Amino acid sequence: MDVHPDLEPIAFLLGHWEGAGVIGYPTMESANFGQEIIFEHNGKPFLSYRSRTWLLDQQGQKVRPLASESGFWRVQPERQIEVMLAHPTGIIEIYVGEVVFHKIELITDVVARTVTSKDYSAGKRLYGLVNGNLMYAYEMAAVGHPLQDHASAELKKVAD
């Protein structure tokens, strides 16, 4: 099935990616995690996205599931993009941003939380394709701390 022409600026994301990264925050111990990301399309002008992560031990073996998220990536005119993500932790985010070549910068426009979710107020993500690998850095403002690093990772494409 042909990719919808509107998706051309972010078509480089399509596929099944696997890799590893690092998490940290002032309130927690840093740790290594493994990640799987899947970007799919169905011919319509959005990408479906899902991500799963696992805590990794020193040997790189999976210990237990960590964060997961899923949503949709929509391209607007002038290479503006809108991303909607839902998290099992009771948080929903709407990001807005821009695609410049193989770099995508996203900032939360809206965050909604269930009454029981952790205090989370903003996120910022930078995705880039570097030597064919998908790399990203994620910053968050949460539990009384201003926007700062929480996760970053590098993933290889393992299937189209």
- Residues belonging to the binding site are 27, 118, 150
Indicate the residue whose CB is closest to ligand HEM. 27
Q: Are 138 and 127 in contact (CB under 8 A)?
A: no
Question: With CB under 6 A, what is the number of residues at the site for ligand HEM?
Answer: 20
CA dist 66 and 53 (Å) reads 5
Radius of gyration (C-alpha) of the chain in whole angstroms: 16
**Shortest Å, Cβ 35 to ligand HEM:** 6
Comparing CB distances to ligand HEM, the nearer of 7 and 106 is: 106
Residue 15 CA, chain-centre distance (Å), reads 14
Residues recorded for the chain: 160
Q: Please tell me whether residue 120 binds ligand HEM under the rule CB under 6 A.
A: yes
Q: Please tell me whether residue 150 binds ligand HEM under the rule CB under 6 A.
A: yes
Q: What is the DSSP string of 108-125?
A: EEEEEE-TTS--EEEEEE
**Shortest Å, Cβ 58 to ligand HEM:** 16
Comparing CB distances to ligand HEM, the nearer of 3 and 92 is: 92
DSSP 58: T
Binding site for ligand HEM (CB under 6 A): 23, 25, 27-28, 33, 53, 66-67, 69, 87, 91, 93, 118, 120, 123, 140, 142-143, 150-151
